[in-house]
């Protein structure tokens, strides 16, 4: 929703028999984008109307390489690789200095859309002396998260917040491989992303920062409970006087992953049997979806999309609120042609 003129350049090539490829560069400036700008509480409305208020720039490369070949021994092989990059920047909002903030996502001119915004965590206070030596951090106690004093004014406050990373991958890629021999065929398809962050919002509750009906995460067994016991997981305190639950890099982790999206093994019965059985074709197969995922993400599923609506609409990105994970699916079947 918005207007813009895309511009792109591309090259198609063929290196030798069976190997082809494409390289494209694209850039697009979009204006009059529909977004919700925050409004005064005095208006009586919880959200602002959708308004044509933003312009944005996107640019990147797209690469595709494919190979197909049939060998003299009856083996067939096909393979493909694709990769795309994205550079994103918000050029303007409604007014100079305007911003759309729906914690922890911030959209501001000059930055990437819906970047994470908050404090930079810097380990755990181990004792009272560390608190005394640090910038003034109200209500901090041993076992609480220490936040960086980015502007060096000796006070931890809103001025120490900064952009922490983007939920939008810098790179998306995929590859597929297929082979066949004497009626058997095997096909695999992979997909992955890199360069994005995930904000683990669910830890507000599962790390014991609020009184709630949530069970705690297993990692809280390794929480701080005395000097030297942990420098990564804060103490349990449902009242949270230090406000450990504030938006910060403590909740950020890499969102990169590679997933086996689909694998299928099949067999096509030979024509001589089809003639005997009075059939045109018979194929049996077994397939699986999302069987393997390679990632450092410790949540349920790194494949995070738009999480919820609200004031920022579709600008709530990359937040894991115990989103339902992609299911693993195994299917077996047959295709019969009479």
Please report the DSSP string for 228-290 in residue order: TS-SSSPPP-TT-TT-TTSSBGGGEEE--EEEEEEEEEEEEPPHHHHHHTT-SEEEEEEEEEE
> What is the reported pLDDT for 311?
44
Residue 120 has a pLDDT of 98
Task: Give the pLDDT of residue 215.
Answer: 81
Distances (CA, A) of 71 to 18, 19, 212: 11, 14, 63
Kindly list the domain boundaries of the chain, sorted by start residue. 99-119+161-207+244-337
For residues 112 and 290, what is the distance between their CA atoms, to the nearest angstrom? 30
CB atoms within 10 A of CB 125: 25
Alpha-helical runs (H) found in the chain: 128-133, 203-206, 271-276
52 and 94 in contact (C-beta within 8 Å)? no
**Rounded Cα distance, 144 and 218, in Å:** 19
3-class DSSP state for residue 304?
A: coil
DSSP state of 301: -
CA dihedral 217, 221, 222, 228 (to 10 degrees): 140
**pLDDT for the residue numbered 2:** 56
pTM strictly above 0.85: yes
Amino acid 239: pLDDT:
87
Count Cβ atoms within 10 A of the Cβ of residue 110 and give its class: 0-12 exposed, 13-18 middle, 19 or more buried.
exposed
Tokens of 62: 């797209």
Q: Residue 303 — left, alpha, or beta (φ > 0 → left; ψ -120 to 50 → alpha)?
A: beta
Query: Cα 136 to the chain's mean position, in Å?
Result: 35
- Which helix H or strand E contains 60, and what residues bound it? strand 50-70
Partners of 159 in the beta sheet?
A: none
**Cβ partners under 8 Å of residue 44, min gap 6:** none
The C-alpha atoms of residue 9 and residue 12 are separated, in whole angstroms, by 10
For residue 169, the Cα-to-chain-centroid distance in whole angstroms is 6
What distance in Å separates the CA atoms of residue 24 and residue 85, rounded to the nearest whole number? 11
Q: How many CB atoms lie within 10 A of CB 192?
A: 21
- Count, residues in the chain: 338
Each of the 338 residues of the chain gets a pLDDT tens digit; together they read: 556 677 889 999 998 888 999 999 999 998 877 666 665 555 555 566 666 777 889 999 999 999 999 998 999 999 999 999 999 999 988 776 678 888 899 999 999 999 999 999 999 999 999 999 999 999 999 999 999 999 999 999 999 999 999 999 999 999 999 999 999 999 999 999 999 999 999 888 888 776 666 788 888 899 999 999 999 999 988 889 999 999 999 999 999 999 999 999 999 999 888 888 888 889 999 999 999 999 999 999 999 866 654 444 567 889 998 888 899 999 999 988 88
Q: How many CB atoms lie within 10 A of CB 214?
A: 14
Is the peptide bond prior to 104 cis by the omega test (within 30 degrees of 0)? yes
Number of Cβ within a 10 Å radius of residue 145: 26
Position 19 scores a pLDDT of 94
Tell me the β-bridge partners of 199: 252, 319
CA dist 307 and 50 (Å) reads 19
């Amino acid at each position: 929703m918005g207007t813009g003129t895309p511009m792109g350049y591309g090259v198609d090539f063929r290196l030798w028999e069976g190997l082809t490829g494409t390289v494209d560069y694209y850039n697009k400036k979009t204006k009059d984008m529909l977004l919700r700008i925050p409004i005064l509480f005095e208006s009586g409305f919880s959200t602002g109307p959708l308004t044509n208020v933003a312009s944005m720039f996107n640019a990147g490369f797209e690469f595709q390489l494919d190979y197909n070949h049939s060998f003299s021994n009856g083996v067939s092989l096909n393979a493909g690789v694709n990769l795309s990059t994205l550079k994103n920047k918000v050029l303007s909002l409604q007014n100079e200095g305007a911003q759309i903030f729906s914690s922890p996502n911030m959209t501001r001119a000059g930055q990437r859309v819906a970047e994470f915004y908050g404090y930079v965590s810097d380990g755990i206070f181990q004792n009272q002396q560390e608190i005394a030596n640090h910038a003034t951090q109200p209500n901090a106690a041993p076992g609480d998260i220490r936040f960086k004093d980015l502007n060096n004014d000796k006070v931890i406050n809103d001025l120490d917040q900064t952009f922490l990373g983007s939920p939008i991958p810098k790179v998306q890629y995929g590859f597929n491989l297929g082979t066949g021999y004497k009626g058997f065929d095997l096909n695999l398809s992979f997909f992955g992303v890199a360069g994005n962050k995930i904000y683990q919002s669910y830890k507000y509750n599962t790390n014991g920062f609020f009184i709630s009906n949530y069970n705690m995460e297993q990692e809280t067994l390794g929480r701080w409970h005395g000097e030297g016991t942990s420098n990564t997981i804060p103490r349990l305190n449902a009242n949270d006087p230090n406000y450990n639950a504030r938006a910060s890099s403590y909740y950020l982790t890499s969102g990169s992953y590679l997933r086996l999206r689909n694998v299928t093994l099949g067999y096509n019965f030979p024509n001589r049997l089809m003639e005997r059985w009075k059939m045109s074709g018979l194929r049996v197969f077994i397939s699986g979806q999302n069987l393997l995922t390679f990632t450092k993400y410790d949540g349920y599923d790194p494949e995070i999309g738009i999480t919820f609506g609200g004031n920022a609409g579709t600008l709530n990105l990359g937040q894991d609120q115990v989103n339902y994970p992609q299911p693993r699916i195994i299917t077996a079947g047959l295709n019969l042609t009479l």
